[in-house]
Each structure stands twice: as C-alpha cells, then as structure tokens.
Amino acid sequence: MIVDVAFDAPIAHPFSYRVPDGMTIVRGQRVLAPLRGASRIGIVVDVRPDEGEKLKALVRVVEPAPLLDASTLDLVGWIAANSMTSFGSTCLTLMPPPSPTGVARARAGAAGGDGPTPELLTGAGREARLIERIAGANTTTLLLTADVEGAARWAQRLGKLGRVLRLDSGVADAERAQAWRAVAAGEATLAVGTRSALLAPLPMGATIALIDEHEAAHKPPGAPRMHTRDITLERTRRDGLRALLTSATPSVELWWHCDSGRMRLDAAEPAAWPAVSVADTRGIARREALTPALARATREALAAHRRVFLGVSRLASILGCDECGAILKCESCAIALAYSPAGRTLTCRLCGRALPLMDACPACRGRRLAPFGWGAERVEHAVRRRFASARIARFDPEATRGAKADAQRQAALSADVVIGTRGALRLFGPASLGLAGFVSPDQLLGLPDFRATERAFALLWAAAERVTPDGQLIIQSQNPSHYALDAVARQDLTAFYKPELKFRAELGYPPFRRLAIITVAARSGAESAKLADAVGAALAGAPRLTVYPATPDRRNRARRIVVKGHADLPRVLAEALEGADTVGAARSRGIMDVEVDPVEWPS
C-alpha cells in the first residue's frame, strides 16, 4: 500500500510513503513519517495500491484509528480551499494532542441536511439567555471562546449544569485528548474549547455556541486561517447542528445575515444604560489629555470611590485637522491615509495612492493639521499630575507579554484609575465602573482600515456595558456627530449598522465583496518588488477581480497587494496564482503569503 500524507507546512501537495507490511492505515489517520531528515506527524489524505514506486516507509501510526470521519475531512478541505492554506496545516492544527491509547470518533456521525436557523443573541443578559438555552437542550453543547481564559471562565459557569469537558490547551494534553474521547463517547454533554475544538466529534442535534462572535481574536495568526464564526456556521450547516452565537455588537457580516433572514436575531429589551456624552474637542488646542468635562467626571468618580477606566489607543500614523476634526482620507477608498513623517507623504494602504503632505485642511482650509494622538504614557502623566493621590495603573495587554503583563494586570486590578487599551477593558465585569472615558477614539475611527469604525463602535459599546447605570461614559472626539458615537449614546444598534452597511455597499467592502492581502517578503526590497510584479502579471486578466498596485511595507522590504473579489475570490485567486511557476515556488518557500478575509489590517 501507498499513502499520501499532508504535513503542517505551506506545501499544497502531499508526500507519498510505503506502508510497512502488517500496518493497516485508513484516510484521516495521523502517522509519523520521515520528512527532510526528521520524523514528523502528518495526516493521511489518500490510500492507494502499491505500483512499485521507490518510496520511503512510514515510521508508525499515531493513533490506532482515525479521529476524523469523511465528512469532517471534507469540511477541512473546504476551510483549506477558502483560506488558501494547505490541507495539512489546517487539519493538524484542528486535531487534539496525540494520544496512543484510544479512538475518538463521533458516535453516530453527523446527520447533514437542514438544521435550525442559526441564532445571534445580543443585548443585556445574552449570556444568561445562552445558559438557559444550553440547560434546556437535551443534547451535547460545544461552547467556543476566543481564548483559553475565556474557556476556563465558561467551564466554571457551565459547571453548575453538569460535568464540563475541556478541549482547549488550558488543560494538560492527556486531559484534552481524554476529553475529546469522552465527547465522542457521549460521557458528558457539555464541552468547552477554543478554535482548536472546532472539529470535535458531536452527536446529531448538538449545539455549537460561539461567544463574542465579533472578536478579531477568533482569527489569530496561523492555521486555520479562517474566522471561527465562519467555520462554525459552515459546520453547523453541513451537519444539521444548531448554532448559537453571542455578541454585544455583532460583526457587520452577521448583522447583514440577520437583515436578510439567513439568521435569527434574539435581542433583549434594552437594559439600563449610563449617561453617554461626547466632549467636542474641535478647535481646542490639545495640550491637556482630559477635557474639563472628563477631568470633572474623574474627580467626582474618585471622590465617590468608584473605579475609572480611561481608554487610550496606540498612536496611529494619520493626520487630522484640529479645527474641523476631519481626518485625511483617500478619496476613492474612504479610509484614512497613512502619514509618514520622514518622507512627509500620505499613502493609502489600500490602493497605494501617495500624496505629498498638504499645508491646509482640504475640508475647512484650516492650517492646523497634526498627527493624531495621545499615547498611554502622556495620558498617564497628565492624570498623575492632576490626581496625585489616586492609585493609577497603565495596562496594555496587546503590547505586553509575560511577567510584565502579569504585573501590569495585578496593578490594574487594584487601581482607582486604569489607563488602558482595548484589551484592558476585559478586566472589568458588567456595570463595575463609575466612569469610562475615551481620550481620543478618533484615533480608532481613523485607522487606515475599513473595519476601523466597526471596531471603535464595539469598544465604546463594550465600555458602556461596563459602567453602572448611574455612571458616565464620556467620549472626547473631533467628530462628535459621527454615527458610531450617536448609536452608542442612544443605545441603538440599528443606528450604527444601517449607515455602516450603506458605506460598505457603496465602496464595495465586506460583506458585499471579499478582500485578500498578498504579501511577498523576499530578502531584499528589490527582490520583493520583482516577485510582486510576477504576482501582478499572474493576476492580470483573472475574472471578477480588482487588483490594487503593490505597496511597500514600512521597512520597504516586503510588498503588499490587495485584491478585491466576489464570493468565489479564493478559487479565482488560486487558479490565477497556480498558473505562474515563480509564484508557486515563492509560496512553497514561504516568502509569499495570502491572507483571505483579513480581520486586522497590517500596519
């Protein structure tokens, strides 16, 4: 027998091996095989008769039987094709740690066919409603979170309903492998995991619950290179399972699904909301991080022994007008232009248009164009000067790791004032703050990314949920009438999604079109540019594809090409790229990368 084995590598084709006598192997089984001088774990994608080829032999099997059935392997094939990632990488990262002792196949196998319409739970008490649904269902539920901490928290919450299996890497490998088997055997009906549990064997009629579907953390770097939401919806659709998703501020994609009836929206009555006000900072020379309104509210909250969160963001390289509040944007793409102080140029990260720095605002002719920004350090300094006796902590979990992050987190947990980025907000539970203030969310609204507004809106809404109903949310902004701010103030989701969907439709952004970013990073800028030309040539003439010119990254080494297409974008792109030899070679050498449906724009 000969087997074709795929590995966790950016190589599209599998490798063939001879099966030693006495070893039986089937498709979907993990095996150990020699590759480039080492034994590596791979997945068997095909078994065929020996035709006398001279091949290396397999080392051994990893499990006595396959963990994935044929329909699951088909799903993996769909994920791999749609994310333009190798089948091996996609499959192997979605499997549990190797365990020599057991077999873990789904009991009945999935039914397929029509399942219930997916449901999206929003509004106050959405998680309590989810738990009620899970308690009321008499089948298995697999609950997925964006990270291991979330999985641990949910395991505890669901523990009140019964035994909970942990399928995430927050538990030891052996426990995880055992949990995978226990789900398959139906020993427990509650399981919690992260994206690595997406293929866990589930019985017919099971539910997959996805927490905070809008989070970018559901698509971290690495395989599977697809948002957990998209895999969840595809799997539940194929297998006839129930999908329940929660979100405070749904992704624009899902809101659109609900609008068009492909998904059911379960929204609660609006809960009590804090007083939300927008402090207009136009025309104010910003020598102070806090406007009088935010400074006053901070003083009052501290006097009442209530906690304060001050939201800051990493400095964005964009320019804004201090007089009218306009952000300098690309005329054709409507996203902020990236400012390079060194070259005194403004560049669009999407279409590559480059403009020399202008000396007056195109909107009001004002002459105070300045880089946006209040970094966390400057804000901390300003707050310490004003509130010398308060306990003040700075927390930026996105930029700090390890012991330093732990120390920051500990300090933040006991501080009166936390100055933090998006991730720091997770420290606080619902209605636990007296005041949340955003120093300059225009920095977020203006990021050179078409999703910038959606993300800023989600952050402001999440902050409002964390303030007590008799507390305050103050947003300092140069765009005080922006619809995202208005929607938060009015606690009205529709007031955000309606104009946002209109913007996306008019400019051809997701969910109406699909995007991909092709990055080539050869040893030198010149080499990258040459390769980018080859990619551009390969894509020229591909049907239903808009290809933007290649743009250099900040260090001028890599080149980035943005392409826009329709629902069939991955297939069109794959066909066009496969035709070019140089491009194929670059992909297998790992110097060319394709990111389909990017959630975070590279800086």
Q: If binding is defined by CB under 5 A, does position 158 make contact with Zn ion?
A: no
Pairing type for strands 242-246 and 119-122 reads parallel
DSSP conformation class of 316 = P
Which stretch, 329-337, 440-448, 504-512, 530-538, contacts Zn ion (CB under 5 A)? 329-337
CB of 442 closer than 8 Å to CB of 484: no
Nearer to Zn ion, 238 or 564 (CB): 564
The one-letter code for the residue type at 364 is: C
Nearer to Zn ion, 354 or 534 (CB): 354
Question: Site mask, Zn ion, residues 272-311, x = CB under 5 A?
Answer: ----------------------------------------
Q: Is the bond into 511 cis (omega within 30 degrees of 0)?
A: yes
Least distance to Zn ion, CB of residue 509, Å:
12
Interacting residue with Zn ion among 326, 392, 412, 532 (CB under 5 A): 326
Q: Hey, which residues between 563 and 582 contact Zn ion (CB under 5 A)? A: none
Nearer to Zn ion, 251 or 479 (CB): 479
Question: How crowded is the C-beta side of 254, counted as CA atoms within 13 Å?
Answer: 31
Nearer to Zn ion, 331 or 406 (CB): 331
Least distance to Zn ion, CB of residue 545, Å:
17
Structure tokens at 171: 């538990």
Least distance to Zn ion, CB of residue 286, Å:
15
Least distance to Zn ion, CB of residue 116, Å:
42
Residue reference for tokens 């005080």: 480
Q: Hey, which residues between 200 and 219 contact Zn ion (CB under 5 A)? A: none
What is the C-alpha R_g of the chain?
26
Which stretch, 199-207, 236-244, 325-333, 536-544, contacts Zn ion (CB under 5 A)? 325-333
Nearer to Zn ion, 159 or 602 (CB): 602
DSSP conformation class of 57 = B
Which stretch, 114-122, 145-153, 323-331, 485-493, contacts Zn ion (CB under 5 A)? 323-331
Q: If binding is defined by CB under 5 A, does position 318 make contact with Zn ion?
A: no
What angle separates helix 452-465 from helix 493-507, to the nearest 10 degrees? Answer: 170
Least distance to Zn ion, CB of residue 350, Å:
5
Residues near 572 by beta carbon (within 8 Å), at least 6 away in sequence: 542, 543, 544, 545, 565
Least distance to Zn ion, CB of residue 287, Å:
19
CB of 94 closer than 8 Å to CB of 72: no
Which stretch, 152-160, 274-282, 316-324, 415-423, contacts Zn ion (CB under 5 A)? 316-324
Least distance to Zn ion, CB of residue 351, Å:
3
Least distance to Zn ion, CB of residue 533, Å:
20
Q: If binding is defined by CB under 5 A, does position 561 make contact with Zn ion?
A: no
Q: If binding is defined by CB under 5 A, does position 321 make contact with Zn ion?
A: yes
Which stretch, 41-49, 181-189, 207-215, 314-322, contacts Zn ion (CB under 5 A)? 314-322
Nearer to Zn ion, 312 or 330 (CB): 330
Nearer to Zn ion, 366 or 423 (CB): 366
Question: Site mask, Zn ion, residues 61-80, x = CB under 5 A?
Answer: --------------------
Least distance to Zn ion, CB of residue 252, Å:
20
End-to-end CA distance of the chain: 49
Structure tokens at 18: 């001879």
Residue reference for tokens 């030198």: 524
Question: Total residues at the site for Zn ion (CB under 5 A)?
Answer: 14
Nearer to Zn ion, 326 or 445 (CB): 326
Nearer to Zn ion, 265 or 324 (CB): 324
* Distance (Å, whole) CA 52 – CA 88: 26
Nearer to Zn ion, 245 or 333 (CB): 333
* Distance (Å, whole) CA 533 – CA 286: 45
Residue reference for tokens 């009442």: 304
Nearer to Zn ion, 156 or 332 (CB): 332
Q: Hey, which residues between 345 and 374 contact Zn ion (CB under 5 A)? A: 348, 350-351, 353, 361, 363-364, 366
Q: If binding is defined by CB under 5 A, does position 330 make contact with Zn ion?
A: yes
User: Which one, of 373, 363, 415, lies nearest residue 394 by Cα?
Assistant: 415
Nearer to Zn ion, 310 or 333 (CB): 333
What angle separates helix 483-490 from helix 493-507, to the nearest 10 degrees? Answer: 160
Least distance to Zn ion, CB of residue 154, Å:
41
Least distance to Zn ion, CB of residue 352, Å:
7
What angle separates helix 493-507 from helix 252-259, to the nearest 10 degrees? Answer: 100
Least distance to Zn ion, CB of residue 347, Å:
9
Least distance to Zn ion, CB of residue 570, Å:
24
User: Which one, of 169, 143, 139, lies nearest residue 156 by Cα?
Assistant: 143
The one-letter code for the residue type at 511 is: P
User: Which one, of 482, 443, 491, 442, lies nearest residue 463 by Cα?
Assistant: 491
DSSP conformation class of 326 = P
Nearer to Zn ion, 68 or 335 (CB): 335
Least distance to Zn ion, CB of residue 337, Å:
8
Nearer to Zn ion, 39 or 332 (CB): 332
Nearer to Zn ion, 79 or 328 (CB): 328
What is the DSSP secondary-structure string of 327-345? BPB-TTT-SBPEEETTTTE
User: Which one, of 27, 33, 34, lies nearest residue 76 by Cα?
Assistant: 27
Interacting residue with Zn ion among 333, 444, 474, 561 (CB under 5 A): 333
Distances (CA, A) of 382 to 157, 388, 397, 465, 476: 40, 10, 21, 26, 15
Least distance to Zn ion, CB of residue 412, Å:
37
CB of 239 closer than 8 Å to CB of 231: no
What angle separates helix 569-578 from helix 70-83, to the nearest 10 degrees? Answer: 70
Please state the φ and ψ torsions of residue 498, each to the nearest 5 degrees: -65, -55
507: left (phi over 0), alpha (psi -120 to 50) or beta: alpha
Q: Which residues bind Zn ion (CB under 5 A)?
A: 321, 323-324, 326, 330, 333, 348, 350-351, 353, 361, 363-364, 366
